[in-house]
Amino acid sequence: MKTKYWQRMLIGLGLTLVLTTPWASATNYYVVTSSQQPSPTPPWTNWGWAHTNLIEVVAAARGGDTVYVTNNATYWLTNQITVSYPITVRSWGPGGIMDPTNTILDGNYPNTTNRHFTLNNYWATIAGFTLTNGWASPETNLSANGGSIYIYYGMVTNCIIMRNYALSTNAASYSILGGGGIYMGPNAGNSGGVWNCTISGNSAYKSGGGIITISGSGNWRIANCTISGNSASTEGGGITARGESTIISNCWIVSNRGSGGASGAGIILNNGAECHNSFIMGNASDTTVWNEGGGVRIFGGGLLRNCLIANNIARYGGGVAVYDALSRIQNCTIVSNYVSVSWGGLYVGRTNVATKVENTIIWGNSSADTYSNWFITANVGAVSTFSNCCTSPKFYNAYGNLTDVNTITNDPRLISTTDFRLQSSSPCINAGANRAWMENALDVYGNRRIDNFRKTVDIGAYEYLSPGTVFGFQ
């Protein structure tokens, strides 16, 4: 039996399928604009009978049904659409392909104040739309989170989510106000994903300008997305990821902003959240007030693996700032970040922080003082470990509670100040420490982490690939 679209997407995001065939049959519904269809005819199951009210069609759909929405049109929403059944709502372009650019769902802010969707079913899928002008705030009888989409369970794929807002006229009264674009959570077992989406120009008053995840025991996946130009005032201008069940992978997180005292202008990783194989570049926090982590701020534990962190700006810890609990940074390149005060590339701070950094380049960062590449605080009660890294000077602190193994202090010889791959003369080639997770893993550029010839991992986010190298697979 062929798997359905939603099944393939869930498998791709690593989510568990509870039922192989949750329904026996399915119906297709069709939606067009009022100008295209003067006389909608129930049950709206072909283009000739198509409805003009998307909310009513979604309310009629049940298990396995698909709602097709024609392209080259803007649909103005007056209320949020709640999807509580295992259905797919998707655009229909030429030949039946999705057309997110030309199929627009407009929340119509400020004329109306509502988000676009609330998803509350494991197999609920929204695919192939531009979602804009959504608004969520407690003043509109919605929660203060998720300007465009609020996900308890479900999937969003191949969408453009832009210029949506999670704001409030009395923001000080609310603890989160997060997810200008998408809010994912917060109950135990909530699961879902965002896949192949562009999330840009969204704003949250407090946290997660683009996306926020609040993890219980479920799984959240954000993959193959571009997160750009979003903003928040407390943390996570691009993404705030809370909980060990959140994994971000293969994303571009660029040009996001933290206003006021916001830390982690690119990403916040909290309580075990992970980010893999991603480009975190050009994010900036306000340099006139206290904040840390222009690219990434990790607190309460997290994992950063195979990532390029470059050209980010903050007051402290321009590239990555780490606080409180075990955090791991593996095979990353942290370069060309800037701070207005101190600790340009990597900052490890506060007490009881057992940070493990390995196979990582920290080079060419800048600050107003002497701590351009890194700074390690007292770290009382914990031992941080730095192994097979390339930085200058060598890691140390006055308290002696860190270990430093095989640090290279020579220039890593990157191709240029804009191309951070390794030159053939780089001392970082074959200088890393192999780990079990590297088997069949790829670097940030899509090359194998351990190839069949050298069999030793390189330091940094990129594996060096000799010109003319040809790989054979069996």
**Tens-digit pLDDT profile for residues 10-46:** 444 444 444 444 555 799 999 999 888 888 999 999 9
Q: Given this model, what pLDDT does residue 140 score?
A: 64
397 compared with 460, residue with greater pLDDT: 460
Q: With pLDDT > 70 as the criterion, what percentage of the chain qualifies?
A: 87
Q: Which of 36-50, 74-88, 110-124, 206-220 has the least mean pLDDT? A: 206-220
H/E segment holding residue 99: none
Cα 417 to the center of its chain, rounded Å: 25
Output the pLDDT for position 15: 45
For residue 193, the tally of other CB atoms under 10 A from its CB is: 25
Question: CB within 8 A of 325, min separation 6: which ones?
Answer: 271, 299, 300, 301, 352, 353, 354
Predicted pLDDT at 299: 87
Query: Around Cβ 469, how many Cβ atoms within 10 Å?
Result: 10
* Number of residues that this document lists for the chain: 474
Asked if omega into 86 is within 30° of 0 (cis), the reply is no
Distance CA 58, CA 119 (A): 12
Q: How far apart are CA 442 and CA 445, in angstroms?
A: 8
Angle at 208 between CA 101 and CA 196, to 5 degrees: 35
Using the predicted structure, report yes or no on whether residue 378 has a pLDDT greater than 80: no
Please give the angle made by the CA atoms of 326, 432 and 471, to the nearest 5 degrees: 120
DSSP 15: P
| 118-170 pLDDT tens trace | 999 999 999 999 999 999 887 665 677 899 999 999 999 999 999 999 987 66
> Contacts for 367-370 with beta carbons within 8 Å, 24 or more apart?
367/318, 367/338, 367/339, 367/340, 367/341, 367/342, 367/343, 368/339, 368/340, 368/341, 368/342, 369/341, 369/342
Report the largest interatomic distance among the alpha carbons of the chain, rounded to a whole angstrom. 78
* Token digits of residue 459: 């330091």
Average pLDDT along the chain: 87
pLDDT of residue 292: 84
Taking each continuous run of H as one helix and of E as one strand, the counts in the chain are: 2, 43
- C-alpha 405/C-alpha 391 separation (Å) is 12
* Top-confidence residue, 261 or 319: 319
Phi, psi of 206 (to 5 degrees): -115, -65
Q: Omega into 94 within 30° of 0, i.e. cis? A: no
Whether the link from the prior residue into 43 is cis, omega within 30° of 0, is yes
Instruction: Return the closest-CA partner of residue 206 out of 278, 263, 275.
Output: 263
Other C-beta atoms closer than 10 Å to the C-beta of 93 total 17
392 contacts 434 by C-beta, under 8 angstroms: no
For residue 403, the model assigns a pLDDT of 85
- Token pair 């407090």: residue: 206
pLDDT tens for 40-68 read: 999 999 999 999 999 999 999 999 999 99
- Which residues have a Cβ under 8 Å from the Cβ of 175 and sit 6 or more positions away? none
